[in-house]
Amino acid sequence: KNQVEQSPQSLIILEGKNCTLQCNYTVSPFSNLRWYKQDTGRGPVSLTIMTFSENTKSNGRYTATLDADTKQSSLHITASQLSDSASYICVVNKLSGNTPLVFGKGTRLSVIA
Amino acid sequence: GAGVSQSPRYKVAKRGQDVALRCDPISGHVSLFWYQQALGQGPEFLTYFQNEAQLDKSGLPSDRFFAERPEGSVSTLKIQRTQQEDSAVYLCASTGQAGNIQYFGAGTRLSVL
């Protein structure tokens, strides 16, 4: 079983609408949780990083939340744009520093006009 | 360059052929990571360097995979006697000494026929 589970697997929304992507993880001990955006044919780009003690972090129209007790995170996208179409990957860091990150499989978001 | 550069972008190999994939990290970045990303999956950790030292190679799937970073900057991932299951995108990421964000290259898409 994957240590980082994301849902939904894919999502289609109309331009201008909001959406929320979910991430459940079992990785322990837990240092921080990251959300990455990966456009087709490109490498992942960091959106947010939250440490164990942080509950929410925003980056423009992206807002990530974290509940370390239930080991759940969400990424909320507000007023979606066509350029938001990408895979969104939840990544959990087992320990602080540069130790291996555990990646989810991602949610494929398609924003249509 | 300003970002992580990987070459080639695409590589087609016949089964049994050896391949070498190159990664140029962001100048001055101490840590370098290699990941393997299968179609529709999240990246999976292969190996990690701090300067020229390979500190973790636990993710390398077999002894056919070998990575080096002899001068602490450019890194090469070598795959010997390629198999069809090696077909994937190979991503390289680097991170600075003080930072926690990994900056990814665009990846090399390897297709083994």
| B41 in reach of chain A (CB within 8 A) | yes
What separation in angstroms does the CA of A39 have from each of A43, A56, A86, A89, B57?
7, 24, 5, 11, 27
- SS in 3 state form for A8-77? CCEEEEECCCCEEEEEEECCCCCCEEEEEEECCCCCCEEEEEEECCCCEEEECCEEEEEECCCCEEEEEE
The confidence score (pLDDT) of residue A93 equals 86
B98 pLDDT above the threshold of 70: no
Contact assignment for B44 to A89 by CB distance below 8 Å? no
B23 pLDDT above the threshold of 70: yes
The confidence score (pLDDT) of residue B97 equals 66
Average pLDDT over residues B26-54: 93
B71 pLDDT above the threshold of 70: yes
| B94 in reach of chain A (CB within 8 A) | no
DSSP per-residue string spanning B63-74: TTEEEE-TTSS-
Enumerate residue ranges in chain A where pLDDT < 70. 1-2, 96-99
Contact assignment for A46 to B101 by CB distance below 8 Å? yes
Q: What tokens appear for A47 in the block?
A: 């959106």
Q: What tokens appear for B90 in the block?
A: 């190979």
Q: Kindly give the pairing relationship between strand B53-56 and strand B65-68.
A: unpaired
> Where residue B100 falls among pLDDT bands split at 50, 70, 90?
confident
Contact assignment for A105 to B41 by CB distance below 8 Å? yes
Q: Which residue in chain A is spatially nearest to B40 when comparing CA positions?
A: A105
Q: Specify the higher pLDDT residue, B107 or A2.
A: B107
> Where residue B46 falls among pLDDT bands split at 50, 70, 90?
very high
B104 Cβ contact list (under 8 Å, min separation 6): A42, A43, A44, A45, B4, B91, B92, B93
How many Å apart are CA B100 and CA A98, to the nearest integer? 7
B9 pLDDT above the threshold of 80: yes
Are A69 and A61 in contact, with CB atoms under 8 Å apart? no
3-state SS assignment for residue B10: strand
B7 Cβ contact list (under 8 Å, min separation 6): B21, B22, B24, B108
Q: Which residue in chain B is spatially nearest to A4 when comparing CA positions?
A: B42
Contact assignment for A43 to B4 by CB distance below 8 Å? yes
B85 pLDDT above the threshold of 90: yes
The confidence score (pLDDT) of residue B104 equals 95
Average pLDDT for chain B? 93
Q: What tokens appear for B74 in the block?
A: 């450019």
The confidence score (pLDDT) of residue A94 equals 79
